[in-house]
Structure 1
Amino acid sequence: MIVPLLCPAIAAHAGLAIALNSADGTLSLIDTETYQVTGKVAVCKEPHHLMPTPDDKSLIVACAASNQLVFFDPNTGQEQKRIRNISDPYQLGFSPNRKWFVATSLRLDRVDLYDPSDFRLVARLPAPKTPSHMAFDNDSQFVFVTLQDSNEIMAISLGTQTIAWVIPVAATPAGVVMAPDNRHLLVACMGTGVVEVIEWRTRKSVMKIPTGTAAHNLQPKGDGRHYYVSNRTIDGSISLLDTQTMTVVEKYEVPGGPDDMIVRADGKELWATARFARQVQVLDLVTKKIKQSIKVGSSPHGVFFTNHAGLR
């Protein structure tokens, strides 16, 4: 149910942002030009993460507590379909070659591998403890999953659907991405406020880069070099990490527990959900200041709009 619907004029001419309100079980629909909430969609229990399908025709919302995936039109916010019996999907990912769909089950301590053509379960692997975020290598040989409560990262071989290795990292790892060099994993570790750099082929930690208290997630700037790192505290911040020098080159004040992020295609704004403030914060990347604070629902988590910067 959508309350209210976007009017046809807004849907046709304005950009639409979609923010997940995990505690409310809703989506907030936001006009990206006026920064106004134009509607709210009742979805399911505990929607946490979302991602577009590889063809960009749908936006998938993972409903962890209701064991389903809900597909939406990313341009209008209209529901398209539901796939049920997807057990506890928390974080989602398509392999770069589009042959695998992966879902982490954070509360059930396992990782599920699906055939993306029909979402048939192919393999279910134990992942103690608390599997959270994931990243793939460029060749789709592995998916790497952070284990928040055991302070580890796990590599799963997609070819054999088996666990290849598990190694320790700094405390409470959450967000993870593959660096543009396809050599290093960048792991945001909340417990120590660092991004740990892992040479994944040799399974060695290269360095730990301090970014801010409770370093939580990473988002590409879109230039093939820089990543934004959300430091998720009440008086939080977002750091800009240069993957060539492996240093923090800028830092911005973003209060309210910044979590998931997305960057406009023109590079002028970064949107971040503020988990503890019931807001989406819009950071002006020219002035380096908060431009808008948009009131949404309780515990906003994922955020998405179509006019975003590239993946790397």
Structure 2
Amino acid sequence: MRKFSLPGLASTFSAGAALAAAAVLFSPAVHANNVIVLNSGEATLSLIDEATRQVVDTVPTGKEPHHLMATPDNSSLIVANSVSNNLLFVDPKTGKVQRWIEGIEDPYQIGFSPDRKWLVTTGLRLDRLDIYHYDGHNLALAQRLPLAVMPSHMAFSADSKTVFVTLQVSGELAAVDLPTQTVKWKMKVGKVPAGLWMTPGEKYLLVGMTGADYVAVVDWKNQKIVKTIPTGKGAHNFRSLADGRHVAVSNRVANTISIIDEETLTNVGDITGLMPGPDDMELSADKRYLWVTFRFAKHIGIIDLSQRKLIQTIAVGRSPHGIYFYDRAPVTAPNGA
């Protein structure tokens, strides 16, 4: 079993990692921010003060970071650098570099199982799922599981026994058994499946069809599609609106966000007038505002949910992807990042 130590700095730094760490550690001013945006196209993080809605700092990352996620105890924010083959850990409040973990190959998406025993990474470029044992401090590689073609997003069952993964090129949904690290089943779901969302009671999995214009409703226990919900072209990723009933889905091609009722499994309204490429989303603590990254516009946006209207945009880096709020309770599944 290959082990990776988390508490200290990794013993082997890449040149880029060392330079990035030095740039932050010796920065003359460290701000206490609570919104972090990952800019995939520039390999940076934009640090935003939520109160003033101003970018106050920029932090270098590794090459081609695509997703970010807090550790279960919220002590670190992990940035997955897919081309650098490493993980960057930063302070989730300040953005200050804490450590680098090398040798994590092609980490496109990352996710912790609800029981915190597993860290799973999808290798979009390598057609692989890497599964690590996690004890709260260390990672130990359990399995590198071939999973073609182009595994991207994931969701976990509540009992932590299964991780569901979308395969973008083959148009499939895969279910992987975590205790045995084996593929239980695959099923066709549609063109370019991406984001996944588990409905209340784990009754259905919602799958965003980025190559189409709908969300597929999957009865995963019986491996069948029971319904499709029209949304907009490029249905991509999900974010709960925290009312126990509604979830937002970003439509990257239509430049809209659809609101889905999880009980009736219907689209109850679209948010329009957005910038190109709405992608990942996060909710303000008071549940009034939905923040969204515009993947193709070098901006993020703030939506007033009472009006379902874009009220402000903030310039960030190229290809903004993940977004994180410090004042959120940590989550394990990467549904919103």
User: Any idea what the Cα deviations from partners look like across 1:81-112, whole Å, max 9, x if unmatched?
Assistant: 11110010000100011111000000100000
Moved more, 102-111 or 15-24: 15-24
In the aligned structure 2, how far is the partner of 1:51 from the partner of 1:32? 18
Partner of 2:118: 100
TM-score normalized by the length of structure 1: 0.94
Match of 1:205 among 211, 214, 225: 225
Shift of 1:308: 3.9
In the aligned structure 1, how far is the partner of 2:183 from the partner of 2:153? 16
Which structure has more relative contact order (CA 8 Å, sep 6+)? It is: 2
2:36–2:324 CA contact under 8 A, matched in 1: yes
Partner of 1:177: 197
Shift of 1:71: 0.7
Partner of 1:60: 78
- Residue 286 and residue 16 in structure 1: after superposition, are their counterparts in 2 closer, same or farther (change >3 A)? same
1:2–1:39 CA contact under 8 A, matched in 2: no
Partner of 2:5: none
Q: Does 1:72 align with 2:100?
A: no
- Residue 251 and residue 310 in structure 1: after superposition, are their counterparts in 2 closer, same or farther (change >3 A)? farther
Q: Does 1:86 align with 2:104?
A: yes
Partner of 1:236: 255
Partner of 2:304: 284
TM-score normalized by the length of structure 2: 0.88
1:218–1:227 CA contact under 8 A, matched in 2: yes
Secondary structure in structure 1 of the residue aligned to 2:202: coil
In the aligned structure 1, how far is the partner of 2:28 from the partner of 2:239? 28
Partner of 1:273: 293
Partner of 1:251: 270
In the aligned structure 1, how far is the partner of 2:226 from the partner of 2:127? 28
1:3–1:41 CA contact under 8 A, matched in 2: no
Aligned length: 307
1:263–1:309 CA contact under 8 A, matched in 2: no
In the aligned structure 1, how far is the partner of 2:275 from the partner of 2:81? 27
1:91–1:132 CA contact under 8 A, matched in 2: yes
In the aligned structure 2, how far is the partner of 1:298 from the partner of 1:4? 25
In the aligned structure 2, how far is the partner of 1:49 from the partner of 1:250? 27
Structure 2 spans left out of the alignment, 5+ residues: 1-22
Partner of 1:191: 211
